[in-house]
Structure 1
Amino acid sequence: MESDLRKGRCRPCEGGAAGLSAEAIQAGLQDLSGWQLDGSALCRDCHFKNFYETMAFVNAVAWIADREDHHPDMEVGYGRCVVRYSTHAVDGLTDNDFICARQINALLT
């Protein structure tokens, strides 16, 4: 599943669309290393050696977000970036959140 979602592309979501079920979310989390459920969002706390590496990561995430048209919330500090994905149109999680999380994991390997 991981390689399929990492290669996948986000699809537009519209209001009224259904989010993922609790079972689908738990299944998706099982092979998504470093991510956890934080309320109705996927969350990953990333640590780096310095501010420059942190900002390089933030810029790479911004590039992914722009390409996929799916944008995370990020908290940035010295040597740290917290990334949170959710799909506001469905007030929950969709495949798009998992696709982007897997692409971010690919940056970190």
Structure 2
Amino acid sequence: MSRLLTKHCQPCEGSVQPFTREEAQTLLNQEIQEWCLNETATEINRAYKFKNYYETMAFVNGIAWIAHQEDHHPNLEISYCRCLVRYCTHAINGLSENDFICAARVDALLLPPQGIAVCKP
């Protein structure tokens, strides 16, 4: 489990410096490997694929709940069976720990519940 899941977003209305490319890349490598850093190191993103529209929208509703709970909101691009999630802390025009906390929480939406074995056919 990512250590980021034990944290919650903190307000940072310009009082926090954005992560450097190196800091962001370290967190990506250690905590949320499947996310990508954009060219300017100001955003992380990940595309998720689903079987159908219903699954896509259920996932999007989960993201909306996380955004409400953490008061940190992603940019979303939604289609029939795909959702692109992009995080950036707009108040600092770059990445903060809040972006990584929320990304870890979004990833956790797709994890099987703990204590239940998942069998592959």
- Of the structure 1 ranges 21-30 and 43-52, higher mean CA displacement relative to structure 2 is found in 21-30
Between the aligned partners of 1:69 and 1:17, the Cα distance in structure 2 is: 16
**1:15-35 CA distance string (max 9 Å, x none):** 242111222101011031320
Answering whether residue 71 of structure 2 is matched by residue 69 of structure 1, we say yes
Contact 1:14 1:90 in 2 (8 A): yes
Q: TM-score, normalised by structure 1?
A: 0.93
Between the aligned partners of 1:103 and 1:16, the Cα distance in structure 2 is: 24
Between the aligned partners of 1:11 and 1:88, the Cα distance in structure 2 is: 14
**Alignment correspondent of 1:21:** 20
Letter in 2 for 1:7: T
**Alignment correspondent of 2:49:** 47
Number of aligned residue pairs: give it. 108
Q: TM-score, normalised by structure 2?
A: 0.84
Between the aligned partners of 2:34 and 2:25, the Cα distance in structure 1 is: 14
Answering whether residue 11 of structure 2 is matched by residue 4 of structure 1, we say no
Q: Percent identity?
A: 50
Answering whether residue 91 of structure 2 is matched by residue 92 of structure 1, we say no
- Of the structure 1 ranges 35-44 and 82-91, higher mean CA displacement relative to structure 2 is found in 35-44
Supply the RMSD in Å over aligned alpha carbons.
1.2
Consecutive unaligned residues of structure 1, counting only runs of 5 or more, are none
Secondary structure, counterpart of 1:76 in structure 2: strand
Which protein, 1 or 2, shows the higher relative CO under an 8 Å CA cutoff with sep ≥ 6? Answer: 1
In our comparison, the structure showing a higher alpha carbon Rg is 2
Answering whether residue 35 of structure 2 is matched by residue 35 of structure 1, we say yes
**Alignment correspondent of 1:56:** 58
Runs of 4+ aligned residues of structure 1 deviating over 3 Å after TM superposition are: none
